[in-house]
Structure formats: structure tokens, C-alpha cells
């Protein structure tokens, strides 16, 4: 028997803004001045409009940048006032100077790490989604696969990382393996939840049309799972960078993980922290990219109107 | 071996000895017990009864969303599963169940994109025409969350009609709407149901109307819409009475104040009260 659902809250419907269409316009339908975004886009590029865009960009950047500057300032002051030796903690100014002195070095090594992280993330996510699809369609397979997945999850990466050098040698493979392993679990768990979290009425509608499992998946399960998958991607992507670094630490010949390890051994903390900062830039960049893609694809989801 | 059909040519739905028992952890629940019902082609039948009397279960059995424990459902000589494959069943639920990532027009088009047969074989109506029919032409590009509850339910109705099903199953479609919208939708549905279809498109006896089985717990709604009202009582669900509604069509809001209409209200209220 159908349990009656309460009537949806009317207010939610009425205050919902017109979602930004995938094709265009900024995600925020109303600018700070209350001008509809569509009109703004249509008007020619004038000085006032440029100023307004600049002001908005400044408004977006101001909070994170000022927080970062304050943290760096406190750190710098502490190092200078307490006269902390640079082989224990380097001053942020020294780290930035080191990075500015050889940006090509950090960019090159960073790119190598990024390569491994992205390849691992892609592979780990692909396997996770494939398994989630299979499990979403069969409780039996869910019960069979899930314990194995947990086994993989609880295996301490650090413990098996040295083995990977033996198994796969040095270079890209161990990185892809560990980054993939770390990215795998959140994507699988959320994917499974997402593929199952479909509107019951929409599912019955498709069943009443004798829609195939493939149709139900493509038309209903996959789009329904996107909010869950993106939540997982936002967790997994920075984690896969950590995975790549851990792999480089143990079995890398290149990359930021290797840079940190070598620099630590030489007590060259400016370089080690330079590599850490580079990783932070990588992680933030990947996260923001994922979030931007999410805003594009999930314009229809409640979360788009949640803030 | 296939059982012989139990249906008469003038009939669209034949239900015989339908019993539905749900296995539950505690003890089995008999939702329906020996229900018999026949619905003619182009007939509008409402099923009314208290919450939990098995009305929705009955509808789901007709639509093939559930397999009966006992008894059978015959849809013009076909099983519900066969009717599903032929896209002969249109379903409207209480929750409009629109896909939020699809625009209004794309939601209406959805049924045409699944279970496709060879080209040209599909009966179908233009989604644009249907949105015009339900009065939402200007909202084609909108997304469901931008629409009111009543508008969403109109989209769901257009979606159920786009593949020209001969049978329309409606499970308290207006149950979640406010009273004013609900009354408006009632007459809207009558208008759409009575709108004649182009020749050869309807799967009925020439009246141009679809067969409708409509589940509700509103007495005026059942009387206004139906040719017959099936009154059910609960635990386990059985058919208590079937009332012919002998009111002229087309029906309008004036009819609701006339003695004949009020007589039906009183009769149905009594039948439901006794349950």
C-alpha cells in the first residue's frame, strides 16, 4: 500500500530561482545589484560592467585570500620573533622565495604528480562506478562485493606502498594504483546510494512502460546519482593527490612526493614546504574544477539553491 | 499454456478473484480479498475508500506493477505485462514524479524515448500539442521546480497521454493539491478526457475516449468525474458496492449544487461511513 506523502512545501517551489541553463550565464542568477543575469550578459561590455564584474570577483576572492594571508602572517611572525631555525620550520616568505626562484621545477614535478593522481582517480572512480552499477541491481552481488571493498579500504596504504615498488617498479604504475585505491571507496559507496536513490514514482512510471534496465539506468538512475557522485568526487580528488604523493615517497623517481622526501633528508625545508604548497595549489585547483563542473551539471538539484 | 480470455468485447478491464497478500516480517497482510470488477471501453470508473483499503494496490495490479497472489487481470485480452510492452497503460501518481533535470517538454517526451518499437509503429501525439491541451504551452522550457504543484501534475498528465495509451490509471493524482487547484484540475481532466481525438488514434469503441480508472478519497471528485464509482472497504480490501453515476455529460461546476448530485454524495457518504 502506498503511504501518503505530505504535500510538498509550496514556498520552496515559489522561491526557487530559474536555474542557470547549462548553456550560459553565470551560476548566480542575480548579481549583487539585483540585475537579472540574462540582461547583464546581453549588454555591451562597458566600463561600469567591467567594474561590477571586478568587484564581484574581488568579493569572491576576498575571504579566502585574507584568511590565507592572516595565517601566513602569524606563521611568519612566530618564526621571526621566536627565531625558529629554518631546518625546523621555514618562514613562509622563504618558501615563497624558493618557489619563485625555480617555478619551472615545482611546476614540472607537480605535473608528474598530477598525472599519477588524475590517472588513479579516473581508474579508481571507473572501477567504483562499475561495481556500484552492478551492486545497485543485485542485493546478492552487493553482499558479495561490499566486504571485499571494505577489505581494500581498511588495508593501510602505507603498509603496502613499499611492496608496490617490488610489484610494479618505479614510475607511474604504483602512483596510479595507490591514488586509485584511495579514490575508489567514497565513489563506490556514494555511487551505490545514488543509483538506488531514485524517485519511486518515476521508477514505476518507467516500469509501467516496460522500459529496459538500460533505459531505467540511463534515464533515471545515472542522473539521480550525480549529486551523490559529485559529493564523492570532491572528497576523492584531493585524496588521490595524497595517494600519488605517498606512492612517490616509496617508489617514485620523480614528482612532488619524491621532492619532499629528498628535501627532508637534506634538511632543505624551504624546498619541502615549497612542494607542500604546490600540492595545496594542486588540490585546491582540482577541487574548484570539480565544484565548477558540479554547478554546471546539477543546476536542477536542491543544492544549487541551498545557499 | 495461456488461459482463455475472460473479457467481453465491450470491456477493457476484467478482474476476477483478485487477492493480494503481502509477506511481511510480522505476519502476512491481506491487502485485497477476492475482488471482481469490470470496466467498459471508454468508461471512467473511480475507486473510492478509506486509507489502507487497497485502492492503490488494486490500481498497481491492473497496471502490472504488482503480481497478484491469486486471481487475474485481463486488459482487452492481454496481460498487464503485455499491455505494458505495448505502451497501452498511462499512469499518473499522486506525486507528479517529474525528472528535475529535464525541462517540461523533455519530461513529456520521456515515454517516447523508452521501449521504442520499429519506426512508425508507435502511436504518439506531439508533446507540444499535449502541453497546449493542458494549458502549459508557455512553460515548455521551464524546469519542474519552477512550476506550482498543479502545473507539475498537468505535466504528469501530458506525459501519461503522449504515447496514446488506451487505459489511464490515476492514483489520487490531485491528492496533494490544495482544494482550489484540486477542483480546477477535476474539470480540466474532464475537458481533456472528453476532447475528441483524431480518427483512428484512440483504442476504444469509437467514443474517442480513454478508459480511466481513478483512485481517490474525495466523494465529490468521484461523482463529478465518473460513470461508475466503486466503493471499497478495508482490511482486507473488498468491493463494497458499485454505484452508477447517472448524471449528464458534459458536467460542470453548477452540477455540484443540484439535488441529484447531492443525493449521490449522501449515498456514498453512507456507504463509506458504514465501513
Residue B204 above 50 pLDDT?
no
User: What pLDDT, on the 0 to 100 scale, is given for residue A46?
Assistant: 80
A9 at interface of B, judged by CB pairs closer than 8 A: no
Which of B23, B100, B235 is most worth mutating to test chain A (most A CB atoms within 10 A of its CB)?
B100
C-alpha cell belonging to residue B195: 476532447
pLDDT range class, residue B197, cuts 50, 70, 90: low
The strand pair at B211-216 and B167-171 is best described as parallel
Which of A1, A201, A223 is the closest to B93 by Cβ?
A201
Question: HSE of B14 in the Cβ direction (CA atoms, 13 Å)?
Answer: 14
Look up the ipTM and state it: 0.88
Q: What is the CATH number of domain A91-305?
A: 1.10.3720.10
- Tell me the percentage of chain B whose pLDDT exceeds 90: 61
Q: Is residue B219 part of a domain?
A: yes
Give the pLDDT mean for B218-230.
95
Instruction: Report the distance separating Cα A118 and Cα A282, nearest Å.
Output: 11
Q: Which strands sit side by side in the sheet containing B238-244, from one edge to the other? A: B89-92, B167-171, B211-216, B44-48, B228-233, B238-244
Of B121, B142, B164, the last residue of a domain is: B164
Q: Are residues B132 and B232 in the same domain?
A: no
- B contact test, residue of A8, A206, A207, A209 with most B CBs within 10 A: A209
Of residues B273, B268, B260, the one with CA closest to residue B231 = B268
**In Å, what is the CA distance from A226 to each residue of A153, B95, B174, B175?**
23, 22, 30, 30
Q: Give pLDDT tens digits for B141-174.
A: 999 999 999 999 999 999 999 988 999 999 999 9
| A5 inside 8 A of chain B by CB | yes
In a domain, B29, yes or no: yes
Out of B31, B97, B148, the one facing A205 most closely (by C-beta) is B97
B178 and B158 share one domain: no
- pLDDT band at B45; cut points 50, 70, 90: very high
Query: Both B177 and B245 in a single domain?
Result: yes
Q: By the 8 A CB rule, do B45 and B51 touch?
A: no
For chain A, the domains span 37-80, 91-305
Interface contact A210-B84, CB threshold 8 A: yes
User: Do the chains contact at B91 and A7, CB–CB below 8 Å?
Assistant: no
Q: Does B118 share its domain with B177?
A: no
Do B173 and B250 belong together in one domain? yes
Residue B238 has pLDDT above 80, yes or no: yes
Last residue of a domain, one of B164, B186, B209: B164
CA distance A119 to chain B (A): 30
Q: Convert A162-177 to b/e letters by CB count within 10 Å (16 or more is b).
A: eebbeebebbbbbbbb
Q: Of B164, B182, B208, which closes a domain?
A: B164
Cross-chain CB nearest to A208 (options B63, B96, B149): B63
Q: Is A222 helix (H, G, I), strand (E, B) or coil?
A: helix
Three cell numbers at A147?
566486504
Closest CA to B54 of B230, B270, B265, B266: B230
Q: Which one has a higher pLDDT value, A174 or B8?
A: A174
The reported pLDDT for the residue numbered B207 is: 53
Please say if the pLDDT value at position B9 is more than 50: yes
3-state DSSP assignment of residue A158:
helix
Task: Examine the pLDDT at B203 and tell me if it is beyond 50.
Answer: no
> How many whole angstroms separate alpha carbon B180 and alpha carbon A236?
49
Q: Which residues contact B49 (CB under 8 A, 6 or more apart)?
A: B55, B217, B231, B232, B233, B234, B237, B240, B272, B275
Is residue B17 domain-resident? yes
Parent domain of B59:
11-88+167-274
A15/B contact by beta carbon, under 8 A: no
pLDDT of residue A23: 41
Instruction: Convert the pLDDT of each residue in B57-89 to its tens digit.
Output: 999 999 999 999 999 999 988 999 999 998 999
Which position has the grid cell 539506468? Answer: A217
A15 or B54, greater pLDDT: B54
Q: What is the H or E stretch that residue B22 is in?
A: strand B11-22
pLDDT by position in tens, chain A (length 307): 444 444 444 333 443 444 444 443 333 433 334 334 444 445 566 888 888 888 888 888 888 889 999 999 999 999 999 988 888 899 999 999 999 999 999 999 999 999 999 999 999 999 999 999 999 999 999 999 889 888 888 888 888 888 888 888 887 888 999 999 999 999 999 999 999 999 999 999 999 999 999 999 999 999 999 999 999 999 999 999 999 999 998 887 889 999 999 999 998 999 999 999 999 999 999 999 999 999 889 988 877 766 5
Domain assignment of residue B2, yes or no: no
* CATH code (residue B262): 3.40.50.300
Do B184 and B249 fall into the same domain? yes
Per-residue pLDDT averaged across B261-265, rounded? 95
Instruction: Look at residue B174 and tell me if it is in a domain.
Output: yes
Residues in chain A with CB shorter than 8 Å from the CB of B216 are none
Å between B265 CA and nearest CA of chain A: 24
CB atoms within 10 A of CB B240: 17
Yes or no, beta carbons of B99 and A19 under 8 Å apart: no
Distance from CA of A221 to the nearest CA of B (A): 11
- Count structural domains, chain B: 2
Chain A, chain B: beta-carbon pairs less than 8 Å apart: 104
Report d(CA B213, CA B216) in Å as an integer: 10
Amino acid at each position: 500500500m502506498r503511504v501518503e506523502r505530505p504535500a510538498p512545501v509550496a514556498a520552496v517551489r515559489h522561491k526557487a530561482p530559474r536555474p542557470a541553463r547549462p548553456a550560459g550565464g553565470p551560476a548566480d542568477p542575480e548579481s549583487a545589484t539585483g540585475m537579472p543575469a540574462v540582461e547583464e550578459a546581453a549588454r555591451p561590455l562597458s566600463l561600469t560592467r567591467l567594474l561590477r564584474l571586478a568587484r564581484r570577483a574581488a568579493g569572491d576572492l576576498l575571504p579566502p585570500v585574507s584568511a590565507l594571508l592572516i595565517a601566513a602572517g602569524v606563521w611568519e611572525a612566530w618564526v621571526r620573533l621566536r627565531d625558529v631555525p629554518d631546518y625546523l620550520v621555514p618562514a613562509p616568505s622563504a618558501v615563497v622565495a624558493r618557489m619563485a626562484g625555480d617555478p619551472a621545477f615545482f611546476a614540472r614535478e607537480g605535473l608528474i604528480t598530477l598525472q599519477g593522481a588524475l590517472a588513479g582517480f579516473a581508474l579508481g572512480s571507473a572501477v567504483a562506478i562499475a561495481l556500484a552499477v552492478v551492486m545497485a541491481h543485485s542485493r546478492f552481488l552487493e553482499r558479495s562485493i561490499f566486504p571485499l571493498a571494505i577489505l581494500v579500504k581498511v588495508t593501510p596504504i602505507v603498509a603496502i606502498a613499499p611492496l608496490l615498488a617490488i610489484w610494479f617498479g618505479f614510475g607511474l604504475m604504483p602512483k596510479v594504483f595507490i591514488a586509485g585505491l584511495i579514490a575508489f571507496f567514497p565513489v563506490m559507496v556514494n555511487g551505490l546510494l545514488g543509483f538506488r536513490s531514485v524517485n519511486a514514482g518515476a521508477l514505476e512510471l518507467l516500469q509501467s512502460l516496460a522500459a529496459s534496465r538500460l533505459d531505467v539506468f540511463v534515464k533515471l538512475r545515472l542522473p539521480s546519482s550525480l549529486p551523490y557522485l559529485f559529493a564523492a568526487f570532491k572528497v576523492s580528488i584531493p585524496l588521490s593527490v595524497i595517494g600519488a604523493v605517498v606512492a612517490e615517497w616509496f617508489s617514485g623517481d620523480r614528482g612532488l612526493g619524491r621532492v619532499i622526501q629528498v628535501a627532508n633528508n637534506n634538511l632543505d625545508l624551504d624546498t619541502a614546504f615549497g612542494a607542500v604548497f604546490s600540492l595545496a595549489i594542486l588540490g585546491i585547483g582540482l577541487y574548484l574544477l570539480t565544484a565548477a563542473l558540479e554547478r554546471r551539471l546539477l543546476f536542477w538539484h536542491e543544492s544549487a539553491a541551498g545557499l | 499454456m495461456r488461459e482463455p480470455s475472460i473479457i467481453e468485447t465491450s470491456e477493457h478491464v476484467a478482474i476476477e478473484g483478485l487477492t493480494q497478500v503481502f509477506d511481511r516480517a510480522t505476519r502476512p497482510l491481506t491487502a485485497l480479498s477476492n475482488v471482481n470488477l469490470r470496466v467498459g471501453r471508454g468508461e471512467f470508473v473511480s475507486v473510492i475508500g478509506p486509507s489502507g483499503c487497497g485502492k492503490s494496490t488494486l490500481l498497481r495490479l491492473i497496471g502490472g506493477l504488482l503480481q497478484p497472489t491469486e486471481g487475474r487481470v485481463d486488459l482487452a485480452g492481454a496481460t498487464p505485462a503485455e499491455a505494458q510492452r505495448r505502451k497501452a497503460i498511462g499512469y499518473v501518481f499522486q506525486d507528479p514524479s517529474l525528472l528535475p533535470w529535464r525541462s517540461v517538454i523533455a519530461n513529456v517526451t520521456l515515454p517516447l524515448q523508452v521501449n521504442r518499437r520499429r519506426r512508425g509503429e508507435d502511436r504518439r501525439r506531439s508533446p507540444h500539442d499535449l502541453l497546449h491541451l493542458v494549458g502549459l504551452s508557455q512553460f515548455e522550457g521551464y524546469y519542474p521546480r519552477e512550476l506550482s504543484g498543479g502545473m507539475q501534475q498537468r505535466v504528469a498528465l501530458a506525459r501519461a497521454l503522449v504515447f496514446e495509451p488506451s487505459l489511464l490509471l490515476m492514483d489520487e493524482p490531485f491528492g496533494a493539491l490544495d482544494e482550489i487547484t484540486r477542483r480546477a484540475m477535476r474539470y480540466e481532466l474532464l475537458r481533456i478526457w472528453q476532447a475528441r481525438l483524431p480518427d483512428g488514434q484512440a483504442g476504444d469503441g469509437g467514443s474517442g475516449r480513454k478508459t480511466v480508472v481513478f483512485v481517490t478519497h474525495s466523494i465529490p471528485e468521484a461523482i463529478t468525474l465518473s460513470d461508475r464509482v466503486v466503493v471499497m472497504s478495508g482490511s482486507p480490501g473488498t468491493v463494497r458496492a458499485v454505484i452508477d453515476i447517472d448524471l449528464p455529460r458534459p458536467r460542470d461546476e453548477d452540477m455540484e449544487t443540484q439535488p441529484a448530485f447531492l443525493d449521490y454524495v449522501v449515498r456514498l457518504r453512507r456507504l463509506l461511513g458504514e465501513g
